[in-house]
Structure 1
């Protein structure tokens, strides 16, 4: 955008509405209806990825001086974080779009709908700098946490599988991050093989070959030999859970054990020295 005197460029704000089918609709003031503008979604750079993915969505005039772009459920976006831009001309410079109102009501109860494989999720959100962004997940299967009960000596988690089913011999695996340490606990299943429950004894994470492990990541193995499925919570309207869903640290000997959500909304345990 051009500057007028010393004024900062005006940020265009876009509204976004999510529907039950996974479709996202973006509305914003249409700056040049004859310039073939489009909305650009661009993945943030990741380590080892030289050319981040991008998705271009045409902006169609709605007749009220605004434009509308639609992101269909398929094809799914790659997992990561995506920023939204306005491109006024086919070869124009991308301009970051500010976040206006976000209508994400249909996402609140998203965990109640069983998802097929692959499990594709996208959550629009207002980034800390005020711009519009998307948080996306794309995995062969996913285990969505539900009830979490933290007690003095153990933590019990209830979850539901999406894109997979649990059979005989299902276990939950806790792996030390950057470590070979590993623990397994039984996954108690019921109903249709999707719901399961497991309990982690805090003392199991503080001794033996895990005595120096600080972080334990949580997967479920639905059957012997099956690929691990990450346990977390992504099927609602919360893009970042780490600092908003906080669980107490419980003292175990001279250590503190705390369940938490990672920056990817995955479930993990942290073990620290007790003060």
Structure 2
């Protein structure tokens, strides 16, 4: 379980939450009996090599007041750092903080998030239930973001529709595929520019398998706003709805091409990647 310092889990405190389209989240806590309670959001340390957790030099902690009716509000500003924020209630100053169980989550305002235009920075917040059954908030904070609108996988290729948010899309933008863990190995694919930041691209799997050489490899997919080496890239993925984790939910077919199994997938951060696995 993910426990912070001075934490106790022997609690039945629950929180309903309602998300507004502007990112505002209202929490309504139940079974809370405390003289001066506070709601705490603590960003979870990122995992380092072999699953170890990188310690933060200073815990990133957000404290919200809880009114007499058990209500606390997380305003749209300031934007939260990207990560997973575990939620706690502090009954009173100096008391151990307690984990919160999820109640009713009204996320209807997030469902059609991809239909709206998002300014820079693109700040996304999705309340969700952790694997161990507690309430948390998944956040993304990016200067710009390319949102996947559709993926079509055929026997030998993939076609992707997407829309850019937080930046201007101009002719010359290309899709960049970079081999993870391999310095300098990348490929670019032309994109077809449409209106309102929308674009499409298609990729043949056979070329991707050959480009990576023997063995298995993962290719991360990004949008490069200008052609040429060293220009900034914007990760392509799917963040703008009510789903905090889609890796195990959106599963695309695996295609065998040139002695390798190829499949697109979403990473743990909901970014788009393509896995090429050598077939023995």
Where in structure 1 are there 5+ consecutive unaligned residues?
1-7
CA distance in 1, matches of 2:65, 2:247: 34
Q: Which residue pairs with 1:253 in the alignment?
A: 258
Q: Which runs of 4+ in 1 moved over 6 A?
A: none
Contact (CA 8 Å) 1:45, 1:51: kept in 2 or not? Answer: no
8 A contact 1:205–1:211 mirrored in 2: no
Root-mean-square deviation over aligned CA pairs: 1.6
Aligned to 2:246: 241
Cα drift, residue 32 of structure 1: 3.9
User: Could you say which residue in structure 2 is the equivalent of 1:40?
Assistant: 40
Instruction: Report the number of matched residues.
Output: 262
Whole-angstrom CA distance in 1 between matches of 2:33 and 2:212 = 63
Which residue, out of 44, 49, 67, partners 2:56? 49
- Of stretches 241-250 and 197-206 in structure 1, the one that deviates more from structure 2 is 197-206
> Residue 274 of structure 1: CA displacement?
2.8
Partner of 1:31: 32
Kindly indicate whether the alpha-carbon contact (under 8 Å) linking 2:237 and 2:266 is maintained by their aligned counterparts in 1: yes
**SS of aligned partner of 1:203:** helix
Gaps of 5+ in 2: 1-8, 47-53
**CA 1:210–1:49 in 2, change beyond 3 Å: closer, same or farther?**
farther
Give the structure 2 partner of residue 19 of structure 1: 20
What is the distance in 2 between the residues matched to 1:268 and 1:236?
A: 19
Cα distance 1:220–1:48, how it changes in 2: closer, same or farther (>3 A)?
farther
User: Could you report, residue by residue, the CA deviation over 1:12-34 in whole angstroms, capped at 9, with x for unpaired residues?
Assistant: 1111110111100000126345x
Q: Secondary structure at the match of 1:218?
A: strand
Following superposition of structure 1 onto structure 2, how do residues 97-246 of structure 1 map, counting pairs within 5 Å? 97-180=100-183, 181-192=185-196, 194-224=197-227, 226-246=231-251
Contact kept? 1:44, 1:83, Cα under 8 Å: yes
Classify 1:147/1:209 alpha carbon distance in 2 versus 1 (closer, same or farther; 3 Å).
closer
3-state SS of 1:11 partner: coil
| Matches of 1:213 and 1:182, distance apart in 2 | 15
Aligned to 1:89: 92
Deviation at 1:48, TM superposition (A): 5.6
TM-score (norm 1): 0.91
Alpha-carbon separation, structure 2, partners of 1:114 and 1:211:
42
Are residues 100 and 77 of structure 1, via their aligned partners in 2, closer, same or farther at CA, if it must alter by over 3 Å? same
2:6 is matched with which residue? none
Looking at structure 2, the residues matched to 272 and 97 of structure 1 have their Cα atoms a distance apart, in angstroms, of: 41
Q: Is the 8 A contact 1:233 1:265 kept in 2?
A: yes
Match in the other structure for 1:4: none
Distance in 2 (CA, whole Å) between partners of 1:204 and 1:106 is 41
Which residue in 2 is equivalent to 1:3? none
Match of 1:60, SS state, is: coil
Once the two structures are TM-superposed, the CA of residue 45 in structure 1 deviates from its matched residue by: 1.2
